Amino acid sequence: MNIHKNKSPIAINGQFTARRMTGQERFAYEIITELDKICKKGEFELIVPQDAKDIPKLANIPIIKYGKAKGSLWEQTFFAWYTILHKRISLNLCSIMPLLKPGIICIHDLSYKVNPQYFTTPYAKISQWWHKLQYYFAWKFSPIIFTVSEYSKQQMIEIYHVNPNKIVVIGNGWEHFNRIKEDETLKKRKPELFTKPYFFSLGSLAPNKNIQWILKVAQRHWQYNFFIAGKADLKAYGEDYKECDYPNVKFLGYISDGEIKYLMRHCKAFIFPSFFEGFGIPPLEALSVGAKVILAKSSCLPEIFGNSGYYINPNNTNVDLDEILSNQVESVDKVLNKYKFDRFAGMIHEHLKPFLFASNKQHRRATF
């Protein structure tokens, strides 16, 4: 059979374009941007909801706005119907795919399975159930499962007994940080932030981020400031945490990418004390601008960052940061050269070639 018969593009799930840009959305945005540079016209199409905002600029991949539903409802209705109606196989880069017509998926990690302690609210439990259902459909129906670390691949094999031959390990990158203009006006606008050396981190209310580690360590290091940007504040960590006890900790809220880049470049070190991560883009960004990174020795982080970071036990706050930073680490070049979006886009494109020009009959093995 001629595999170029009935040429049919792969439909990329563009629901991420309507969400706030976090780790998985960044991954999808950058991978598609790099895919667009190496693919031929007619190989892919990006299907996005009508309320899409962060749409990458593409030359070879057409952008199709389709359907007005929002969130997962759009994926499970309009995007699913599009793939059925046009006989497309889908590429889903953010861990969720349409269950009516499963396709190729990237599952970034198995946190919803291995960390039940993080999902205690009714909403979190529903999200946990939903993602575990996605896991089941991926193991059973997806012809290829991408993931971003060997750590996650091994968990898939050991916990769910997934065929290792259908799991492809790729990764994230940092090149997008080159496009961000550093906000050099920050020091002039907010001189109070720079009265003494500081450590920097990106915060979140997610329990796996372990921001409490920074709070406890800050009490042992009055000579430094500790800046935490993002959706987090001291009140979120309970009544035991009072501002008067942490005068050298400042929650900055959401700040611009340019401000983040400036704070990363000039910090004493970027701190990333997470109990669990699927990958960890922020410390990669920090390395790219020359910052030192202090990392938890947990989950996939040692695999990703090797000997280029300064490791801590995320459960032990009895540490001396100056002593930690006095240790020798390897050059960051190996890490920065390995983890690049253009490299992983090339790997994805190579693995998708059997599906790019396959006939509709050949695609049926990937659906039910």
Query: Tens digit of pLDDT for each residue in 179-237?
Result: 999 999 999 999 999 999 999 998 777 788 899 999 999 999 999 999 999 876 555 55
Other Cβ atoms within 10 Å of 180 Cβ, number: 16
* Confidence check: pLDDT of 155 > 90: yes
Q: In the predicted model, what is the mean pLDDT of residues 119-129?
A: 91
CA dihedral 193, 195, 199, 201 (to 10 degrees): 0
Is the per-residue pLDDT at 135 higher than 80?
A: yes
pLDDT tens-digit readout, 303-319 = 999 999 999 999 999 99
pLDDT at 207: 83
In the chain, pLDDT over 90 holds for what percent of residues?
80
- The encoded tokens of residue 222 equal 């009055």
The pLDDT of residue 4 is above 80: no
Question: How are beta strands 167-169 and 145-147 bridged, if at all?
Answer: parallel
d(CA 264, CA 270): 7
pLDDT at 268: 97
Question: Which domains can be identified in the chain, with CATH numbers?
Answer: 10-173+340-366 (3.40.50.2000), 181-338 (3.40.50.2000)
Mean pLDDT for all residues in the chain: 90
Q: What's the confidence (pLDDT) of residue 360?
A: 39
Evaluate if residue 271 carries a pLDDT over 50. Answer: yes
- Tell me what pLDDT residue 236 has: 55
Distance of CA 323 to the CA centre of its chain: 31
Q: 132 pLDDT band (50/70/90 cuts)?
A: very high
